[in-house]
Chains A and B, each alone.
Chain A
């Protein structure tokens, strides 16, 4: 349930950002799709809304690249669910992508907030 204030950002995440967020979420431990979506929404204070239409294809894509792996497990309330975990290859990718993201943010900020301000 979105709160008042800034409207949630939906469906317009920067290309590749969702992948990065998924990797980051999984760095904390294995999770299933529902938890990943919840975690991203919660930790962004409901600003980022994960569209399931993109989440599952993204998971599939990451798994296909070998950055995450999946297995069937049991959820907190005893439901069968497909869990994802980070692979070593995914961990390296996370580090790389994070520094790349920082670079982009710094670059964009340099333009938006020039130093003399």
Chain B
């Protein structure tokens, strides 16, 4: 029985009522039998029974869980109060929803990116095996997101390790799904045969890849696709298994689909298609990396054997390092590089939550945003505390009456707290909705079309606990003080007469003033942060990078399937270029190795006058017309032209910074430099024919550094793909469509994909844009909430001082002086808030410094602007209630007494 009675308490109450009624009737009968009149008989019976309601109540509470019952009562009471005051309810719930929602969203990201473990069996047993120590870094070709290991090295590790029950390796890549024309990219993984079995991932349909699939020379490897890809491309059709798929022009069979929760082992990235590593020669061309130990494209995990700790695994990796590296030295290395290589050290690191790029690049921004949203929540809580205090004051007499007739203080505090809890719970539930919008927005903000961010935002217990915890603590922050203060009033003084005195007790206003000062201070911090981040972004987007950003289309053209003979390549590139230049609206086009700030790097050491120069030089390969297309002026000399054939002497154009650093002011045109090469190999020599203006190379934040351009028409590497930069004065979408048409006309097997210089730069500024957008939004929100708070306090205090104002005006004070008296009071709050806020902003500035560009964390102008903005809203928030108070006729105010 026990608590089951709780749900039947109404039934029992009815039963008792009937039973007691029966008693009265029987007793009445007895009394009549004793000779009383019917009326007297019934009256006596009722008297004998006593108070039936009391008896029923006793029984009712026996059936009830006392605490739950009163809690429920309190909640209903709170809900009624909220319904009666919808403005307050809406403001309270809305501000809390924004506060908790923003916090939860950021927490969701942190959770997904760094707290959650991989969706595989026993992720805690996984260790990431990688090179942990090198003297000067590694040399060679690096491919994919985590080029930790080369294939020869990986195979040796797998063969010689004794600490893992299984190992797996993978390398990320992209494949083109289209047969020609504009490319459609699939995120690909090369996986070792034991990848799925070691992770413990089973196929949802068909089978996963096994060691039998991953044998050297595999001709027709099976393809495993992800659940998301299967849904997207095949609409979840089970017959997809067994069908073929086109990857970079190779037709391969799908053998299985992975389960929905498995997105891969890189957090922030999801895979579409997985192939065994042995299939690389099919796609990789000349250097597939299966045998070369200077092609870095793999990352590896091991699953620890039972009883083996990560430290033991790490020690074994360290121990086998020298043998492994000695056995895998690349023949491309000279003696110095080989010696370095042999001293590399392997290590094993915990990898339960996988590898993540996002984790490292966004940990700072996320931390700052966490702080920002926490401050917003604090401001919202302070604001609510203020509103609750005002309400508690209005209910002072009610509470006094209840205390006087015997309610305990704790009971009243509990009641007022449950009201706060109700608000907090409503706010947090609305916050969960806000959070889901907001986190989706964040993910789409951080995703770019060329680098989609995949974050599994599934709601988990951590997020729930976080939000609930936030709701509870915000409830305590904004609800406890008003509740405790409300019960501290002596019933007598609260109930005394009108209870309105000329001036209110200073003490109560103390708390409310402190709250307003806190709000002003915290908003100042956020406004300063917003101005700094927006300023940084503005500086970055308005700086002159040395090249044109608008209207430049970047076309990546892939000839690999087009059956182009190596000696026809140059001619084909020229034809493509001519066709591009003929597109209406296009005024310049050129071939290029890589457009600036695209994320590609090529650097070399150079020799001038036979002497190796300090530092490395950034290189780019460009064709004639590049400087016109990108609008980078040549300050001396000439552009590349048709004279510069592969047979002619090699020429180069260098940047002003190159001239400054290496040529020391001598007339550079006509001078030459060499590219450093290992001893015994030829050092290509270049004659400088022109000087170009400095441009940014890797990103917009860097200083101008030495840059050398070589002519792509003189290179002989015969790559089967080419990049073109096309400048057009008309819309780029139309130009891209026209360009695709032209290419398909030329050869339907040519595939192409487009970007714009602007989008490449935009991508490089994602972090800055994120910080600027969000801090501006939250700064504005903070100011809005603080203004509401200030306005609330000011209109409340002026309302309480109406009599005083009335007297002052009756005695001849003019309107202006009364208004200025009140505004001055608000001004004092502002000054206090600004002082505290400035100190806080200076502390906070240090954290943000790394994310700023060309603004100092404590920039006086920024601070002044923020203070000015807050002053303006303070003025508005206090002037309005003051003006309203003075419009009241003094007699009206005085008559109220």
Report whether A32 and B62 are in contact in the complex, using a CB–CB cutoff of 8 Å.
Answer: no
Report whether B22 and A79 are in contact in the complex, using a CB–CB cutoff of 8 Å.
Answer: yes
Report whether B62 and A82 are in contact in the complex, using a CB–CB cutoff of 8 Å.
Answer: no
A77 at the interface (CB under 8 A from B): yes
Report whether A53 and B1 are in contact in the complex, using a CB–CB cutoff of 8 Å.
Answer: no
In the complex, residue of chain B having the shortest beta-carbon distance to the beta carbon of A35: B26
Report whether A64 and B1 are in contact in the complex, using a CB–CB cutoff of 8 Å.
Answer: yes
A81 at the interface (CB under 8 A from B): yes
Report whether A32 and B20 are in contact in the complex, using a CB–CB cutoff of 8 Å.
Answer: no
Report whether A82 and B26 are in contact in the complex, using a CB–CB cutoff of 8 Å.
Answer: no
Give min CB distance, B20 to chain A, whole Å: 7
A-chain residues with CB within 8 Å of residue B23 when the two chains form the complex? 32-34, 52, 81
A56's contact among B26, B48, B59, by CB below 8 Å, is which? B59
Report whether A77 and B16 are in contact in the complex, using a CB–CB cutoff of 8 Å.
Answer: no
Report whether A64 and B5 are in contact in the complex, using a CB–CB cutoff of 8 Å.
Answer: yes
Report whether A82 and B27 are in contact in the complex, using a CB–CB cutoff of 8 Å.
Answer: no
Q: Which one of B15, B19, B25, B54 has the greatest number of beta carbons of chain A within 10 Å?
A: B19
Report whether B5 and A80 are in contact in the complex, using a CB–CB cutoff of 8 Å.
Answer: no
8 tightest CB-CB pairs across the interface, nearest first? A82-B19, A81-B22, A34-B26, A57-B58, A60-B59, A52-B49, A77-B29, A56-B55
In the complex, residue of chain B having the shortest beta-carbon distance to the beta carbon of A66: B1
Chain A 50-86 per-residue mask, 1 if CB under 8 angstroms from chain B, else 0: 0111001100110010100000000101011110000
A-chain residues with CB within 8 Å of residue B12 when the two chains form the complex? 60
Report whether A33 and B1 are in contact in the complex, using a CB–CB cutoff of 8 Å.
Answer: no
Give min CB distance, B257 to chain A, whole Å: 58
Report whether B51 and A77 are in contact in the complex, using a CB–CB cutoff of 8 Å.
Answer: no
B66 at the interface (CB under 8 A from A): no
In the complex, residue of chain B having the shortest beta-carbon distance to the beta carbon of A80: B22
Give min CB distance, A71 to chain B, whole Å: 11
22 sampled A-B residue pairs with Cβ under 8 A: A32-B22, A34-B23, A51-B50, A52-B48, A52-B50, A53-B54, A56-B16, A56-B19, A56-B58, A57-B55, A60-B12, A60-B59, A61-B62, A64-B1, A64-B5, A66-B1, A75-B22, A79-B25, A80-B22, A81-B22, A82-B19, A82-B22
A-chain residues with CB within 8 Å of residue B1 when the two chains form the complex? 64, 66
Report whether B26 and A77 are in contact in the complex, using a CB–CB cutoff of 8 Å.
Answer: yes
B395 at the interface (CB under 8 A from A): no
User: From residue 27 to 55 of chain A, which have CB atoms closer than 8 A to chain B?
Assistant: 32-34, 51-53
B-chain residues with CB within 8 Å of residue A64 when the two chains form the complex? 1, 5, 62
B18 at the interface (CB under 8 A from A): yes
A-chain residues with CB within 8 Å of residue B27 when the two chains form the complex? 34
> How would you classify the secondary structure of chain B's contact residues: helix, strand, loop or mixed?
helix
Report whether B26 and A60 are in contact in the complex, using a CB–CB cutoff of 8 Å.
Answer: no
A-chain residues with CB within 8 Å of residue B29 when the two chains form the complex? 77, 79
Q: Which one of A51, A53, A56, A64 has the greatest number of beta carbons of chain B within 10 Å?
A: A56
B-chain residues with CB within 8 Å of residue A34 when the two chains form the complex? 22-23, 26-27
Give min CB distance, A102 to chain B, whole Å: 29
Report whether A81 and B62 are in contact in the complex, using a CB–CB cutoff of 8 Å.
Answer: no
A-chain residues with CB within 8 Å of residue B5 when the two chains form the complex? 64
A33 touching B48 in the complex, CB below 8 Å, given contacts A52-B55, A57-B62, A79-B26:
no
Interface size on A, residues (CB 8 A): 18
Report whether B62 and A60 are in contact in the complex, using a CB–CB cutoff of 8 Å.
Answer: yes
- Given the complex of chains A and B, what is the CA–CA distance between A51 and B52 in angstroms? 12
Give min CB distance, A110 to chain B, whole Å: 36
B-chain residues with CB within 8 Å of residue A61 when the two chains form the complex? 62
B16's contact among A51, A60, A79, A80, by CB below 8 Å, is which? A60
Interface size on B, residues (CB 8 A): 23
Give min CB distance, B271 to chain A, whole Å: 62
Give min CB distance, A84 to chain B, whole Å: 10
Report whether B55 and A53 are in contact in the complex, using a CB–CB cutoff of 8 Å.
Answer: yes
B-chain residues with CB within 8 Å of residue A33 when the two chains form the complex? 19, 22-23
Report whether A57 and B22 are in contact in the complex, using a CB–CB cutoff of 8 Å.
Answer: no
- Given the complex of chains A and B, what is the CA–CA distance between A64 and B2 in angstroms? 8
B50's contact among A53, A80, A81, by CB below 8 Å, is which? A53
- Residues of A with Cβ closer than 8 Å to B? 32-34, 51-53, 56-57, 60-61, 64, 66, 75, 77, 79-82
- Given the complex of chains A and B, what is the CA–CA distance between A82 and B24 in angstroms? 12
User: From residue 56 to 74 of chain B, which have CB atoms closer than 8 A to chain A?
Assistant: 58-59, 62
A81 touching B58 in the complex, CB below 8 Å, given contacts A52-B50, A60-B16:
no
Give min CB distance, A66 to chain B, whole Å: 8
A-chain residues with CB within 8 Å of residue B51 when the two chains form the complex? 53
Give min CB distance, B4 to chain A, whole Å: 10
Give min CB distance, B260 to chain A, whole Å: 51
- Given the complex of chains A and B, what is the CA–CA distance between A32 and B25 in angstroms? 12
In the complex, residue of chain A having the shortest beta-carbon distance to the beta carbon of B61: A57
A-chain residues with CB within 8 Å of residue B55 when the two chains form the complex? 52-53, 56-57
A-chain residues with CB within 8 Å of residue B48 when the two chains form the complex? 52
B-chain residues with CB within 8 Å of residue A32 when the two chains form the complex? 22-23, 26
A-chain residues with CB within 8 Å of residue B19 when the two chains form the complex? 33, 56, 81-82
- Given the complex of chains A and B, what is the CA–CA distance between A56 and B63 in angstroms? 13
- Given the complex of chains A and B, what is the CA–CA distance between A52 and B1 in angstroms? 25
Report whether A75 and B59 are in contact in the complex, using a CB–CB cutoff of 8 Å.
Answer: no
- Given the complex of chains A and B, what is the CA–CA distance between A53 and B23 in angstroms? 13
In the complex, residue of chain B having the shortest beta-carbon distance to the beta carbon of A65: B1
B-chain residues with CB within 8 Å of residue A80 when the two chains form the complex? 22
- Given the complex of chains A and B, what is the CA–CA distance between A22 and B875 in angstroms? 77
- Given the complex of chains A and B, what is the CA–CA distance between A28 and B29 in angstroms? 24
A-chain residues with CB within 8 Å of residue B49 when the two chains form the complex? 52
12 more A-B residue pairs beyond the given contacts A34-B26, A56-B19, A81-B23, with a C-beta to C-beta distance below 8 A? A34-B27, A52-B23, A53-B50, A56-B16, A56-B20, A56-B55, A57-B58, A61-B62, A64-B1, A64-B5, A79-B29, A82-B19
Q: Which one of B12, B23, B51, B54 has the greatest number of beta carbons of chain A within 10 Å?
A: B23
- Given the complex of chains A and B, what is the CA–CA distance between A15 and B790 in angstroms? 60
Give min CB distance, B151 to chain A, whole Å: 76
A-chain residues with CB within 8 Å of residue B25 when the two chains form the complex? 79
Q: Which one of A32, A52, A80 has the greatest number of beta carbons of chain B within 10 Å?
A: A52
B-chain residues with CB within 8 Å of residue A52 when the two chains form the complex? 23, 48-50, 55
- Given the complex of chains A and B, what is the CA–CA distance between A33 and B26 in angstroms? 10
- Given the complex of chains A and B, what is the CA–CA distance between A79 and B54 in angstroms? 24
- Given the complex of chains A and B, what is the CA–CA distance between A81 and B18 in angstroms? 8
Q: Which one of B15, B20, B22 has the greatest number of beta carbons of chain A within 10 Å?
A: B22
A-chain residues with CB within 8 Å of residue B15 when the two chains form the complex? 82
Give min CB distance, B413 to chain A, whole Å: 30
- Given the complex of chains A and B, what is the CA–CA distance between A65 and B12 in angstroms? 15
User: From residue 1 to 51 of chain B, which have CB atoms closer than 8 A to chain A?
Assistant: 1, 5, 12, 15-16, 18-20, 22-23, 25-27, 29, 48-51
A-chain residues with CB within 8 Å of residue B18 when the two chains form the complex? 82
- Given the complex of chains A and B, what is the CA–CA distance between A7 and B19 in angstroms? 29
- Given the complex of chains A and B, what is the CA–CA distance between A53 and B12 in angstroms? 16
Give min CB distance, B381 to chain A, whole Å: 45
- Given the complex of chains A and B, what is the CA–CA distance between A77 and B5 in angstroms? 33
- Given the complex of chains A and B, what is the CA–CA distance between A98 and B55 in angstroms? 27
- Given the complex of chains A and B, what is the CA–CA distance between A64 and B12 in angstroms? 11
Give min CB distance, A55 to chain B, whole Å: 8
In the complex, residue of chain A having the shortest beta-carbon distance to the beta carbon of B48: A52
In the complex, residue of chain A having the shortest beta-carbon distance to the beta carbon of B56: A56
In the complex, residue of chain A having the shortest beta-carbon distance to the beta carbon of B58: A57
B59's contact among A57, A77, A79, A82, by CB below 8 Å, is which? A57
- Given the complex of chains A and B, what is the CA–CA distance between A64 and B3 in angstroms? 11
A81 touching B26 in the complex, CB below 8 Å, given contacts A57-B55, A57-B58, A60-B12:
yes
Give min CB distance, B14 to chain A, whole Å: 12
B-chain residues with CB within 8 Å of residue A53 when the two chains form the complex? 50-51, 54-55, 58
B-chain residues with CB within 8 Å of residue A81 when the two chains form the complex? 19, 22-23, 26
- Given the complex of chains A and B, what is the CA–CA distance between A64 and B16 in angstroms? 14
A-chain residues with CB within 8 Å of residue B20 when the two chains form the complex? 56
In the complex, residue of chain A having the shortest beta-carbon distance to the beta carbon of B32: A77
- Given the complex of chains A and B, what is the CA–CA distance between A57 and B62 in angstroms? 8
- Given the complex of chains A and B, what is the CA–CA distance between A52 and B59 in angstroms? 12
- Given the complex of chains A and B, what is the CA–CA distance between A33 and B25 in angstroms? 12
- Given the complex of chains A and B, what is the CA–CA distance between A106 and B5 in angstroms? 38
- Given the complex of chains A and B, what is the CA–CA distance between A54 and B268 in angstroms? 69
- Given the complex of chains A and B, what is the CA–CA distance between A82 and B48 in angstroms? 18
